[in-house]
Structure 1
Amino acid sequence: MMSDRGYSIRDQYAIHFITFAVVQWIDVFTRKEYTDIVVDSLRFCQLNKGLRIHAWCIMSNHVHLILSTQEPYRLSDTLRDFKRYTSVAIIKAISENPRESRKRWMLWIFKKAGEDNNRNREFQFWQQGNHPIQCDSNAIIDSRIKYLHENPVRAGIVRKAEEYIYSSALDYYTGESGLIKIDFI
């Protein structure tokens, strides 16, 4: 649903397909240490914020998730907290990484994006919004799961979706456990 502040989540406990993109589509997640912050943060939200992860995929500059939450937690609050925490943690990791050859360039872009957005104090890592799509039918759920799992294949990163470690394709296609515990639909 579109509101005056962008897309909003009407049913806080329904299953939603969510996408987060890095500002300027910067390929931050080509480095394991930054991708691991996202993975660890998703696990934290599962354990502490009622987050149910049904499917996921982290690409070089964006993240696809199929999520829901359990009461009393609200999906929009959990997503807000997740984005806020990962923004700070990833920017800190970039700024403190002595091996990061793109450090000055990336931090400049994140700082410029933050200055251009009155909702931020200094840096902006994620693009504003997440365009939630409520998955209220099996057809929508199936198409979104297939879409996010095939993303690394379409990008030419892997030949088969289950070869990509930063997604739930391994869980879905082989029955093995991937990096994040999945709540199958």
Structure 2
Amino acid sequence: MSRKYKFRDQDKLYFVSFAVVHWIDVFIRDEYRQVLLDSLTFCQEKKGLEVYAYCLMTSHVHLIIGTHGAPMADILRDFKSFTSSQLRKAVTEHPQESRKEWMLWMMERAGGRNGNNNGFQFWQQHNHPLVLNSNFLLQQKLEYVHTNPVEAGFVDQPENYLYSSARDYAGGKGLLNVLLIE
């Protein structure tokens, strides 16, 4: 990973995005999305992860996060490693997963091409953390996270997308506990 894309200041908020290898649309099933939500909750409760905004799309995740616990790079490394193994298991065991063989083949193919893995890769390697060091940048990324499902054509209003913190910012209650940015 380039030096340019490291978590340098643990006291800052960061925008991160990460995607499934080959942009495979894995997160179309509730069971798979729940693995991510449960893992984020665990990181909040046990590792000191602070989630300020999130959006789970079909092939990728957007987060605005901070920490006053473990180093951010360690939290994301553990999160991606754990969810990778849990999601592989969930795909393998899902009785109605018609794309099972293809998805596992694509992930094994990606893992075989990457010396950092043991023949299997779920997530793309990079996170490209962007430090949110100005109010303008923070608001820009918050809007980007929340309008992603609108731009994709899933909903007409950000707060109508269930797998996003947009409903928290609209005065409702989302699926994760988020710290609202004032």
Same fold (TM > 0.5) = yes
Shift of 1:84: 0.3
User: For 2:51, what is the secondary structure of its paired residue?
Assistant: strand
The corresponding residue for 1:108 is 105
Contact 2:112–2:118, Cα closer than 8 Å, also in 1 = yes
Q: Say if 2:79 is the partner of 1:82.
A: yes
Residue identity over aligned pairs, in percent, reads 50
Q: Contact 2:5–2:130 (CA<8 Å) still a contact in 1?
A: no
1:65-144 matches, within 5 Å, as 65-71=63-69, 73-144=70-141
Instruction: Give the counterpart of 2:160 among 146, 153, 163.
Output: 163
The whole-number CA distance in structure 2 between the counterparts of 1:61 and 1:12 is 27
The one of 159, 169, 175 equivalent to 1:179 is: 175
Aligned to 1:53: 51
Using structure 2 for the length normalisation, give the TM-score: 0.97
**For 1:94 and 1:69, how far apart are their aligned partners in 2?**
31
1:121-163 deviation line (CA, Å, top 9, x unaligned): 1210000110100001111110000001000000000010000
Q: What TM-score comes out, normalization by structure 1 length?
A: 0.95
Residues 34-78 of structure 1: CA distance to partner in whole angstroms, max 9, x if unpaired? 01100010000000000000000000000000000013x111100
CA distance in 1, matches of 2:23, 2:126: 14
Unaligned runs of 5+ in 1: none
Give the residue type in structure 2 aligned to 1:150. Answer: T
Matched, 1:150 2:119: no
- Offset at 1:2? 3.5
Conservation of the 8 A alpha-carbon contact between 2:51 and 2:177: yes
The alignment partner of 1:80 has SS state of: helix
Name the amino acid aligned to 1:93.
A
Rounded to whole Å, the distance in 1 between the matches of 2:86 and 2:134 is 36
Contact 2:53 2:142 in 1 (8 A): yes
Note the alpha carbon deviations across 1:2-42, whole angstroms, 9 max, x for none.
32xx7211112310000010000000001111011000100
Aligned length: 181
Which residue, out of 40, 43, 68, partners 2:41? 43
The residue number in structure 2 matching 1:2 is 2
The question of whether the paired residues in 1 share the 8 Å contact of 2:51 and 2:179 is answered with: yes
SS where residue 58 of structure 2 aligns?
Answer: coil
2:138 counterpart letter in structure 1: I
What's the RMSD between the two structures over aligned residues?
Answer: 1.2
1:81 and 1:182 map into 2 onto residues whose CA distance is 20
**C-alpha separation in 2, matches of 1:23 and 1:160:** 28
